C-alpha cells in the first residue's frame, strides 16, 4: 500500500489499521508473503514541492498531474522492482465511468488470452479481477463474504459516511449515481487534492466529523491563492448571470496570479512563451505567496485539532516536522540564490491578496461585488 501522507485522515487511519491486521494475519497463518506500506521520498512531498519550491498545483490531465507519479506510483514501482516476478491485482471496473472504461480497454494486453491481464512493466504482470463487477456486485460481496483478516464493517462505514447512503444497503440506481460521484458516490483521495473541483467524500464526511470542514476550506484556499479557483454554479443561478460570474472570476484569478506568480521559472529565467512574450502572471509561485499559504496550513492544523479535542480525539499532523524543516531551508536558499522568486515583477504587495480572495469568496457565495465589465450587461441582474 502506498501512503501519500496527505490522504483523507479517516481513510489514512483505516489504511494503517488494515496494514497491521494484515501483517498479523500473515504471521499467524504462516503465509509466504510480506506486507509493505511505502511512502514518497521527503523531497517529493506535496507540501515541499508546492509550498517549498513553488510548483504549480497538479492539473487534471497530462504532465500537469505530477502528483500521482511522485507521491504514489514511484514508491510502488521502487519496491516492486525488488520482487521478480511481481503480480499485481488492480480493483478497477468497466462501469465506474466512461473514462475508466476507455482506460481499461487501452491497457488490456492484446497478446494475452485473458482480457483481465493488463500491459505491464518488465517482470510485473497485472490483473483486473473485478472489471465486470457492478457496484451492486461489490457491495453484495462485501456484505456476504468475510475477509480473512478483517471485518468489512469499517470500510462500509467509510463509504456510508462519504455518501450518506451506500455501504450497508444496496440501493437501486447506485451505478447511475456513481457516474456522477465516482466509486459508489465517493472518491477517496488526498484531502488537499486540487485536481477535483468538488471533493464530495470529504465534504459529506464533514457532516459526521466537523473537524474535517477546515480541510475542505484549505483545499479551496490553495486554489484561490494560485489563481486556479472556479466556483460551482449555485442552484437557481441564471445562465446569463453565470456567464458574468465566470468572466469576473477569470479577472480575479488573473489579478491574483499577478500577485502570487513570480514571472520567473525555478531556474531564475524569465517566463517567456514560445512566441517570445514574457508573462508576469506565470512561473514559480512567489516566496511571499508560499509563506502566506504555509501560515494558512498551520492555522488549519490548529483549527482541526481544536475541533478534534472538543470531540475527544487526538491531535493530527497535517504536515510533518521534517517537511517544515525542508520547506524553510528551501525558502532560505531562494532568498539567497534566487531573489527574483521572492515577489512578483508587477510590484504588487502580498497584502493585496486578501482583498481579491474576499472578492472570490463573495462571488462564490452569490453575494454582490463591485463589477466592471467592459461592454457587458449587468444592470438588473442580482447575484
How many folded domains does the chain comprise?
2
**46-71 pLDDT, tens digit each:** 999 999 999 999 987 666 889 989 99
Judged against a pLDDT cut of 50, whether residue 169 lies above it is answered with no
183 pLDDT more than 80: no
Residue 172, C-alpha cell as written in the block: 437501486
C-alpha–C-alpha distance, residues 241 and 237, integer Å: 7
- Please tell me whether residues 172 and 27 are part of one structural domain: yes
Cα–Cα distance between 135 and 183 in angstroms, integer?
Answer: 8
Q: What is the mean pLDDT of residues 125-143?
A: 85
Domain end call among 208, 236, 255: 208
* Cα angle 336-258-362, degrees, rounded to a multiple of 5: 125
Rounded Cα distance between 262 and 266, Å, is 10
Q: Are residues 150 and 238 in the same domain?
A: no
235 and 324 inside one domain: yes
Is pLDDT at 123 greater than 90 in this prediction?
Answer: no
* Cα 199 from Cα 201, distance rounded (Å): 6
Cell digits for 248?
469576473
- Which cell numbers hold the place of 12? 489514512
Tell me what the mean pLDDT of segment 30-57 comes to.
94
Residue 306 lies in a domain: yes
Residues 101 and 143 in one domain: yes
- Strands 86-89 and 124-127, by their bridges, are parallel
The answer to whether residue 79 sits within a structural domain is no
148 plus 198 within the same structural domain = yes
pLDDT at 151: 85
3-state class (DSSP) for residue 363:
helix
Say if residue 161 is in the same domain as residue 296. Answer: no
pTM for the whole structure: 0.84
pLDDT of residue 331 exceeding 80, the answer is yes
Omega of the bond prior to 85 within 30 degrees of 0, cis? yes
Instruction: Write out pLDDT tens, residues 216-230.
Output: 999 999 999 999 998
137 with 168, same domain?
yes
Mean pLDDT calculated for residue range 91-112: 80
Dist. CA 365–CA 217, nearest whole Å = 13
97 and 156 share one domain: yes
Distance of CA 115 to the CA centre of its chain: 31
Quick one: 177 and 290 in the same domain? no
Domain co-membership, 183 together with 328: no
Last residue of a domain, one of 208, 240, 262: 208
pLDDT of 240 over the 50 cut: yes
Q: Is residue 84 in a domain?
A: no
190 and 239 in one domain?
A: no
Average pLDDT over residues 340-357: 96
- The reply to whether 215 falls in a domain is no
Say how many C-beta atoms besides its own lie within 10 A of residue 85's C-beta: 10
121 assigned to some structural domain: yes
State which residues form the domain around 35. Answer: 2-39+90-208
Q: Is residue 107 part of a domain?
A: yes
What is the Cα–Cα distance from 34 to 80, expressed in whole angstroms? 12
Would 55 be classed as within a structural domain? no
- Do residues 203 and 230 share a domain? no
- Closest C-alpha to 57, from 204, 218, 242: 218
The reply to whether 371 falls in a domain is: no
Amino acid at each position: 500500500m502506498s501512503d501519500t501522507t496527505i490522504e483523507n485522515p479517516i481513510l489514512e487511519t483505516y489504511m494503517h489499521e488494515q496494514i497491521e491486521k494484515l501483517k498479523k494475519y500473515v504471521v499467524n497463518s504462516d503465509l509466504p508473503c510480506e506486507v509493505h506500506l511505502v511512502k514518497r521520498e521527503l523531497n517529493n512531498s506535496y507540501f515541499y514541492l508546492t509550498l517549498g519550491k513553488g510548483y504549480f498545483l497538479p492539473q487534471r490531465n497530462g504532465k500537469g498531474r505530477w502528483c500521482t507519479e511522485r507521491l504514489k506510483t514511484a514508491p510502488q514501482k521502487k519496491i516492486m522492482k525488488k520482487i521478480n516476478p511481481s503480480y499485481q491485482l488492480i480493483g478497477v471496473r468497466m462501469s465506474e465511468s466512461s473514462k475508466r472504461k476507455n482506460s481499461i480497454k487501452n491497457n488490456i494486453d492484446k497478446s494475452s488470452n485473458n482480457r483481465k491481464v493488463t500491459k505491464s512493466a518488465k517482470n510485473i504482470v497485472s490483473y483486473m479481477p473485478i472489471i465486470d463487477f457492478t457496484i451492486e456486485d461489490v457491495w453484495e460481496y462485501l456484505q456476504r463474504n468475510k475477509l480473512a483478516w478483517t471485518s468489512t464493517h469499517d470500510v462500509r462505514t467509510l463509504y456510508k459516511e462519504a455518501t450518506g447512503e451506500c455501504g450497508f444497503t444496496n440501493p437501486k440506481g447506485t451505478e447511475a449515481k456513481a457516474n456522477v460521484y465516482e466509486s459508489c458516490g465517493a472518491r477517496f483521495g488526498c484531502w488537499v487534492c486540487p485536481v477535483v473541483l468538488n471533493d464530495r467524500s470529504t465534504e459529506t464526511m464533514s457532516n459526521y466529523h466537523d473537524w474535517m470542514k477546515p480541510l475542505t476550506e484549505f483545499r479551496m484556499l490553495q486554489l484561490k491563492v494560485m489563481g486556479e479557483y472556479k466556483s460551482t454554479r449555485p442552484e437557481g443561478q441564471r445562465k446569463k448571470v453565470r456567464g458574468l460570474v465566470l468572466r469576473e472570476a477569470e479577472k480575479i484569478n488573473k489579478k491574483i496570479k499577478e500577485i502570487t506568480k513570480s514571472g520567473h521559472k525555478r531556474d531564475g529565467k524569465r517566463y517567456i512563451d514560445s512566441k517570445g512574450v514574457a508573462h508576469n502572471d506565470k512561473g514559480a509561485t512567489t516566496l511571499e505567496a508560499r509563506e502566506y499559504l504555509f501560515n494558512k496550513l498551520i492555522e488549519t492544523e490548529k483549527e482541526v485539532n481544536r475541533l478534534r479535542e472538543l470531540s475527544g480525539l487526538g491531535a493530527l499532523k497535517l504536515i510533518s516536522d521534517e517537511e517544515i524543516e525542508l520547506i524553510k531551508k528551501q525558502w532560505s536558499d531562494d532568498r539567497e540564490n534566487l531573489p527574483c522568486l521572492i515577489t512578483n515583477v508587477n510590484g504588487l504587495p502580498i497584502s493585496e491578496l486578501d482583498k481579491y480572495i474576499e472578492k472570490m469568496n463573495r462571488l462564490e457565495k452569490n453575494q454582490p461585488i463591485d463589477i466592471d465589465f467592459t461592454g457587458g450587461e449587468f444592470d438588473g441582474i442580482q447575484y
